[in-house]
Copies of this chain bind each other. A is one copy, B any other.
Amino acid sequence: MIKKVIEQSNNLLYEPELRTIPVGVSARHIHLSLEHIDTLFGKGYELQLYKELSQPGQFAAKESVMLAGPKGTIDKVRILGPARGTTQVEVSLTDAHRLGISPPIRDSGDIAGSSPITIIGPKGSVYLKEGAIIASRHIHMSEEDAWQFQVHDKEKVHVISQTERRVIFSDVKIRVHANYRLEFHIDTDEANAARLTNQDQVWILKYE
């Protein structure tokens, strides 16, 4: 499989007209339910906009929380809004070691059986029985992008980072939605392993 991928796609790397994909590095963050915003920040509290994110409608809030696990805490963890139906914590494996938890690698939203974690806010704290994951790397794109790249929703591809620390990431899932802006989402461990930063460009290599 890898053989064919590289065979068919090797030339792409050297075709300057080929579209590249900008990198978006996700630092540790949390999505909160309305119920948990109430618990952590007070009844009826509304998250304040700090800055808008590249995906439309998503924003980083001014507020932050502390995460706690059996081995340690991490302070000033950014909250991403708007509120979601279910609270979800996304950390790197480096963070997980520091907290003393062992989260599964999952797509966002898939939290059944994921790691327990404690979230501490200014007005209260929440013990989640499940909810902490390490996010699977993925590419957001619109339907038009998907057509141009000749890929489809949920397809897995390789992604090449032509950096000083060159890496090929396998099993990267394509996620297509009309509202998605083209971006390769990785966590800080993945970014550091390849010495990638926001707005660096990467290439897709298709599976066969």
Contact = CB atoms under 8 A, between A and B. Distances in A.
A67 interface: no
A165 interface: yes
14 contacts: A2-B10, A3-B10, A5-B6, A6-B7, A7-B7, A93-B192, A94-B94, A94-B189, A105-B165, A158-B168, A166-B169, A167-B167, A189-B189, A193-B193
Contacts of A188: 94
Interface of A: 2-3, 5-7, 10, 13, 92-94, 105, 137, 158, 164-171, 188-190, 192-195
A154 to B, nearest CB: 17
A192 B195 contact: no
A6 B13 contact: no
Given A3-B6, A93-B195, A189-B192, A167 B164 contact: no
Contact of A167 (B2, B3, B168): B168
B195 A193 contact: no
Contacts of A3: 6-7, 10
